[in-house]
Amino acid sequence: MAKEVFRLLRESFGHPTGSNHGAKFFAEGIEWHPGVMYSRGHSSRIVMVDIQGSRLATMKPVDALKLTKEIMMMGFRCTRIDLAVDHVMQGLDLYENALASCKAKELCIMRTYEPDEAFKVDGTPIKKLLKLGQRESEVCARIYDKGLETKLLPVGLWERAEVEIKHDRANEVCMALVVAGDEYNKLLWEYVIGSVDFRECNGRSERNRRPRSSWWAEYIGQSTPKRIKPVPKESSLDQWCEWFRTAAARRLLQLADILGHTPSELFAQLIEDLKPAKTVVPATVEAHQRMKSSDMSSEHHCC
């Protein structure tokens, strides 16, 4: 769908404004300034579309969602999505409250935190950023003063809570958002507040037995945080079977047709004199488990 998505980007943003080296592992990038890049020339023949938040912010939300949905419907997978909630002139002190909670060992879900501050010599803050979780993880979060970052507003007037989601979780979240309709804003908010939690230290190890920190409970209100859970890994046995269908089965059918054999006859010739492999791989382990489960079910049924 490379040509189709390129055509869609051209319809949405006009003629490209330039070219560059593209994203990592790609040979070339075509860009629409500002914030849109189409990368091609990958060894796997894939292409990548990168639309930055700065460009999305110039679009009507309905248009941005429509574009994302159209790209996804072409069969593309979302490999990273950033969600953010901004608070302007609300005086929430998100950075200070979150940092105090982290120091009090109240941070949950995320396992690490890293404050990043900067000040002028007179003590005036010029940067307030709290990183939650590891950047290389599938989900990490940031709480920071957006007004200071953009140099548009004084400290405390523009605060942002942001979550960065990657890999399979990004694809799940993106698909959920593009089909959410009128529930889009509510769902995005629930994902952001569901990526992290702050709970009082009361000696209990179970998170649900620790009350939420007062500031965090007030911040999320009556909303229900939506946890960004890991996507179940695909079955190893099913993966192997799909590999066989893709890599060998179609060619086997073609050869059988050319040679005038049935697929079964040709397959029997191909495996003649071969002995079963003895090595243990995830697919064989899962096959044994399925057979064991099947036998147990049969025994139970017979009883």
Residue 231: its pLDDT value, please? 74
Closest of 105, 129, 134, 132 to residue 213, by C-alpha: 105
Is 200 buried (19+), middle (13-18) or exposed (0-12) by CB count in 10 A?
A: middle
Prediction pTM value: 0.74
- Digit-coded pLDDT (tens) for 11-51: 999 999 999 999 999 999 999 999 999 999 999 889 999 99
Q: Which residues pair with 85 in a beta bridge?
A: 161
Residue 295: its pLDDT value, please? 66
47 three-state secondary structure: coil
Looking at the chain, the whole-number percentage of residues with pLDDT higher than 90 is: 68
- Digit-coded pLDDT (tens) for 201-255: 988 888 888 999 999 999 999 999 999 888 766 667 887 888 787 778 888 899 9
74 three-state secondary structure: coil
pLDDT above 70 (res 185) = yes
Evaluate the omega torsion of the peptide bond into residue 230 and state whether it is cis, within 30 degrees of 0.
Answer: no
Q: What angle do CA 120, 122, 123 make, to 5 degrees?
A: 70
- Digit-coded pLDDT (tens) for 112-121: 999 999 999 9
Instruction: Report which DSSP code applies to 199.
Output: B
- Whether the CB-CB separation of 250 and 243 falls below 8 Å is answered with no
